[in-house]
Chain A
Amino acid sequence: MQVTMTVNDVEVTREIEGRLLLVHFLRDVLSLTGTHWGCDTSNCGTCVVWLDGEPVKSCTVLAAMAGGHEVRTVEGLAKGGELDPIQEGFMQCHGLQCGFCTPGMLMTCRALLDKNPDPTDGEIREAISGQICRCTGYATIVRSVRWAAVHEAAVTQ
C-alpha cells in the first residue's frame, strides 16, 4: 500500500506493507535511525516520536496509521542547527550516558514542557514513567528538564 505523511516538516510518500511498524518505517525506509527499537511491548519508550504533536510509541503504531498525519522525530528537534533547550539541558546536566533512550526521552520531555513550562520534579518523573533508562538513574534527566524549563523561562522574560 501507499502511505503519505509529513516527517519533520517534509512530506514523504512510500510504498509499504500494511503491517510495517512506524518505528521500522522511520528507521529502515527513511533512514531516520535516531528513533530506536527497544522492546516491542510499549514498555521501554526508546521509540517515542510525536504523532500530530503527541508522544506515541512507534513500535506499536503501524506506519499506515500515520498516513495523513505529522510525525516528528528527534532529528526534527533542533531548529536551524541550534539545539532545542531540552537537548541543551540533557547535555548540561548529564541526562544521558549510552544515548539509546535519549531520543525518546527528549521527545517526551519536550512535549511535557510545551504543555507545562514549569513542571515539578514529580511531574517530570510521572511524564517519563513510561520509559526506561538503564544508565542515568533518572535524577539527572529530571535536572535536565528543569534546566530547560528555567532557561526557557529566562529567554521568554
Chain B
Amino acid sequence: MTTVQEPKFTNFDDNDQKPVGFGRMLRKEDPRFLRGRGRYTDDVQLPGMLHLAILRAPFAHARIVSVDTSAAEASPGVKLVVTGAMLAEKGLAWMPTLSNDVQAVLATDKVRFQGQEVAFVVADDRYAARDALELIDVEYDVLEPVVDARRALEAGAPLIRDDLTDKADNHVFDWETGDEAATEAVFANADVVVVEDIVYPRVHPAPMETCGAVADFDSIDGKLRLWSTTQAPHAHRTLYAIVAGIPEHKIQVIAPDIGGGFGNKVPIYPGYVCAIVGSILTGKPVKWMEDRSENLISTGFARDYIMRGEIAATRDGKILAIRTNVLADHGAFNGTAAPVKYPAGFFGVFTGSYDIEAAYCKMTAVYTNKAPGGVAYACSFRITEAVYLVERIVDCLAHELDMDPAELRLKNFIQPEQFPYETKTGWVYDSGDYEPTMRLAMDMAGYADLRREQAEKRARGELMGIGIAFFTEAVGAGPRKDMDILGLGMADGCELRIHPTGKAVVRLSVQTQGQGHETTFAQIIAEEIGIPPADIEVVHGDTDQTPFGLGTYGSRSTPVSGAAAALVARKVRDKAQLIASAMLEVSVADLDWAKGSFVVKGDPGKSVTIQDIAMRAHGAGDLPDGVEGGLEAQICYNPSNLTYPHGAYICVVDIDPGTAQVKVRRFIAVDDCGARINPMIIEGQVHGGLTDGVGMALMEMIAFDEDGNCLGASLMDYLIPTALEVPDWETGFTVTPSPHHPIGAKGVGESATVGSPPAIVNAVVDALKPFGVRHADMPLTPSRVWDAMRGQATPPI
C-alpha cells in the first residue's frame, strides 16, 4: 500500500506524454469529437430512412377504451401507424424486462404511468411523424393512480398489474439479508440506538444524448442492423432474438458514440422495439429519437427508496449493528437491471466500511403508477442508496453522541489486516486500507482548521457545514457462479490480434459512453505487450465485430473487461515468447520480458521486439514445434470476486441564513480505485460523479403530483448543476490494489456519484446543527432547507 497525493494541476508540460502503458495520456477519441465528427445514433442517416414518433399516455393510470388512427394514417407523409392491438396480433405487445417481469411495448389494456407508449407513427420526416401523433384519438377511462409507495400495499389500493395472472396486489418482492435475530440481540443490549427515516428520492440520469435507435431490417437476407443508444449491445442482441424471434446471428447491434449513459441506456426500451417493428413493416430504415421530455418521463429512473435506518453503538462510539427497513418503489413494471439473485442490487453493502457485530435489512418492493427503472444514474447496483443510508445514519449517531464524525468513522473502520473481510451480509471485501485515505482527505481539507473556522462563524451566527462520507463500493459484476442477467453470465470476452507489422487491434465486449475506453484499453494492452497505444486500435460497440460480454455499467469495464484485456495480452505474449526463443535460439526460460522485447538473460545485446516477432509469426519459415502461425488470442474472463474501491470525501458548505441557499464552497475527494491506468481519465470520472452528487443532494428530483403527473418533465423543471453550482474539485488518491484483478484495478466510474451525496447532505445538516437539525432529506433546495431551519423538515415524498 502506498499513499501518494495527486500533484496539483499547475502546468501543462506533461500533457503530451504518451506512455507505453499506464500514465496520463491524451485521449484517442477526442479528435473526432472536437471536430464535430462524433457519430451518435441520431447522426446515422441511411438512404430512404423514415422517422418514428411515439404517442404517450397523458394519464398515470387509465383504461384504454378505444384508439382511432384513421386521421393520423391520412396525414401527409405518414407511412405507418401502429397500436398496441396491432402488436398484440403479432405477439409483440409485451416484452421481458431485465428483471424477469414484462413491460408493454405499446399499451393494450391500460396505461400504467404518464408517458407510457400507446401508439407509434412512421413518416417521411420527424415533423410529419409528430404532426400525426396529434391526430390519433385515444379514449381513456381514467383510474385512480397509485403515486405513493406507502399507499401501494394498503387494502383497497388500485391494482396496477392486473395483466399478471394471480396478481392481487401491488407487491413486487420481499427481500432480506443479514441475521435478524442476532441483530435484534445486539440492539436490545446497546447503550445507544439511533433511528432515522431517510428518503432517497427518485432522480434521473438525464444523459445529454437522449435514447434512440435506427433499425434497418433487410427482408431479403433476414438481417436486422440496429444502431442504438445501448450500454450493453451484446445483451440487447440476445434479448431481441428472444423477443422478436429473429435468429441471433441475423441481428447486428451497433452502439455508435454514446452521449452519456449513467445507466439510463442499459434497459431495452419500447422505442427500440417499435423502431424494429417499423422497419420490418415498412421495409425501410426507421429512426426513433426521443426528445428530452420523453427521456425524463419514461426511461430508467434511479433510487426511490424510503428507508428507516437504525444504528446501535456503545456510549464511547463503537458501532455494534446496523439495521434497515426499505420500501422500494419500482414503478409500473419491474425493469430493474440487476443480477437475478440480487433483486435489490448490491444494497447489501449497507454495512459500509465498518467492522460491526450484526446487520439486517428487510425490503419490500412495490409497483406504482410511475415509470419503470430503478438501477441507473451511476448507482453501482443500488450501492448509492446503501452508502447514503450508512453514511447518514453514522452522522446521526455522531450527532447523538456529540462526537466528531471523522473520529467516529476512524474508530470503527475495518482494519487492513482483516482483509479479505466478510461482512455481516455476506460480501467479501477484497482489499482496503481505510485510515490513510481518510487521513489524506482530512489533511487536504485542513480539517482541524475548518472546524475552528466553523466555530468562529457559528459564534457570529453564520451557517457553515463540514460533511464527511467514507464509502466502500462493490463493483465489477460479476462472478458467473452467482451473477447473471436473465440467465446471461456476467463475464466478458476480449480478443487481441497483432498484425504482421506489429500494429494491434483489440476487440472489447464493453461499450464506452465517454469513459475513454479507446484510450484506457489501448494503455492496458500497451502495458502488457509493449506496443505503443497509438498503434493499438480499440474496437467496441458492434456485436458483429466483438466477442460476447455484458456491457458497461456498474463500474464493471475495468474490473471485468480490463482484466480480460490484460489477460488476453499475456496470452499473446506467452506465444510471442515461444517464437522469440526460436528466433534467438535459446530456451524460453532464458528470456526476460522488457516491455516490448524479449531479451536473452545475461546478454542484453541479444533481443527481439514484439514487432519482429509479429512479422515472424506471419512470415515464411518454420515456427517452433506445435506453434501455429499468427499472433492473436481470445479469452472470456470470469471474475472470481467483485472489486471494492473506497474513498473519503469532505464537503464544505455555506448557507445563506436569509435565503437558505446552499453553496458548496469546497469538495475534497480522495479515491482509492486500486491500480491507476490513466490518472487524467480517473480524475474526470470523479469530477463528473461529484457533480451528480451536487445535483442529487441539492437540486434534482423527479416529483409527481397526486394525479401521477411527472413534475420533472423538462430541464426547466428538472434542475441539473451548471458550472455555477459546483466548486473547483480537489482530488487525491491512495492505491490499494485488488488482489484478484490481474493489474490490481478496481474501477472508479461510479465512486463519486455514490460517495458525494452523503458528504453534501452531512455538510448541510452540520451547518444546521444550531437549529437542532439531525436529518433533512434531499433535495436540499432553499425551500426545504428553510423548512428545516424552522424545525419543519419533511420528507420529499
A139 CB to closest chain B CB (Å) equals 5
Task: Report which of A35, A41, A138 forms a contact with B714, defined as CB distance below 8 A.
Answer: A41
Q: Can you list 13 A-B pairs with a CB-CB distance of less than 8 A?
A: A33-B43, A37-B289, A38-B209, A44-B292, A87-B35, A98-B514, A99-B257, A100-B514, A134-B260, A134-B692, A139-B728, A141-B723, A142-B723
Determine the main DSSP class of A at the interface with B. Answer: loop
0/1 string, B643-686, CB within 8 A of A gives 1: 00000000000000000000000000000000000001101100
User: What total count of A-B pairs have CB within 8 Å?
Assistant: 185
- Judging by beta carbons under 8 Å apart, are A97 and B684 in contact? yes
Check B570 for interface membership: any CB of A closer than 8 A. no
0/1 string, B697-733, CB within 8 A of A gives 1: 0000000000000000011100010111010110000
Task: Report which of A102, A121, A137 forms a contact with B691, defined as CB distance below 8 A.
Answer: A137
Residues on B with beta carbons closer than 8 Å to the beta carbon of A106 = 34
Task: Report which of B30, B126, B205, B714 forms a contact with A96, defined as CB distance below 8 A.
Answer: B30
Asked if A136 meets B33 with Cβ closer than 8 Å, knowing A40-B292, A41-B292, A147-B12, the reply is no
Task: Report which of B42, B127, B690 forms a contact with A137, defined as CB distance below 8 A.
Answer: B690
- Judging by beta carbons under 8 Å apart, are A34 and B724 in contact? no
Counting chain B residues whose Cβ lies within 8 A of the other chain, the interface size class is: 35 or more
Asked if A135 meets B684 with Cβ closer than 8 Å, knowing A40-B292, A99-B33, the reply is yes
A130 CB to closest chain B CB (Å) equals 7
**CB contact list, A34-49 vs B, under 8 A:** 34-41, 43-44, 46
Residues on A with beta carbons closer than 8 Å to the beta carbon of B692 = 134
A13 to B735, CA, bound (A): 59
A68 to B687, CA, bound (A): 42
A interface, CB within 8 angstroms of B: 17, 19-20, 24, 27-28, 31-41, 43-44, 46, 73-75, 77-78, 83, 87, 90-94, 96-103, 106, 121, 124-126, 128-143, 147, 150
B interface, CB within 8 angstroms of A: 9, 12, 15-16, 26-27, 29-40, 42-43, 45, 125-127, 205-210, 257-260, 262, 289, 291-293, 513-516, 680-681, 683-684, 687-692, 714-716, 720, 722-724, 726, 728-729
Task: Report which of A38, A77, A139 forms a contact with B208, defined as CB distance below 8 A.
Answer: A38
| Supplied contacts A41-B716, A99-B32, A102-B33, 5 more A-B pairs, CB within 8 Å | A34-B36, A38-B292, A96-B33, A137-B684, A150-B12
- Judging by beta carbons under 8 Å apart, are B715 and A132 in contact? yes
- Judging by beta carbons under 8 Å apart, are A140 and B42 in contact? no
Asked if A137 meets B513 with Cβ closer than 8 Å, knowing A75-B35, A98-B209, the reply is no
- Judging by beta carbons under 8 Å apart, are B208 and A98 in contact? yes
Residues on B with beta carbons closer than 8 Å to the beta carbon of A140 = 683-684, 687
- Judging by beta carbons under 8 Å apart, are B207 and A134 in contact? yes
Task: Report which of A20, A33, A125, A136 forms a contact with B688, defined as CB distance below 8 A.
Answer: A136
A90 to B45, CA, bound (A): 28
A26 to B126, CA, bound (A): 14
Task: Report which of B33, B34, B126, B722 forms a contact with A132, defined as CB distance below 8 A.
Answer: B722
A75 to B722, CA, bound (A): 25
A103 to B42, CA, bound (A): 15
A41 to B210, CA, bound (A): 14
| Nearest B residue (CB) for A39 | B292
Task: Report which of B9, B36, B683 forms a contact with A35, defined as CB distance below 8 A.
Answer: B36
Asked if A31 meets B726 with Cβ closer than 8 Å, knowing A44-B208, A91-B31, A96-B30, the reply is no
A121 CB to closest chain B CB (Å) equals 7
A56 to B49, CA, bound (A): 29
Asked if A36 meets B723 with Cβ closer than 8 Å, knowing A98-B208, A98-B209, A147-B12, the reply is no
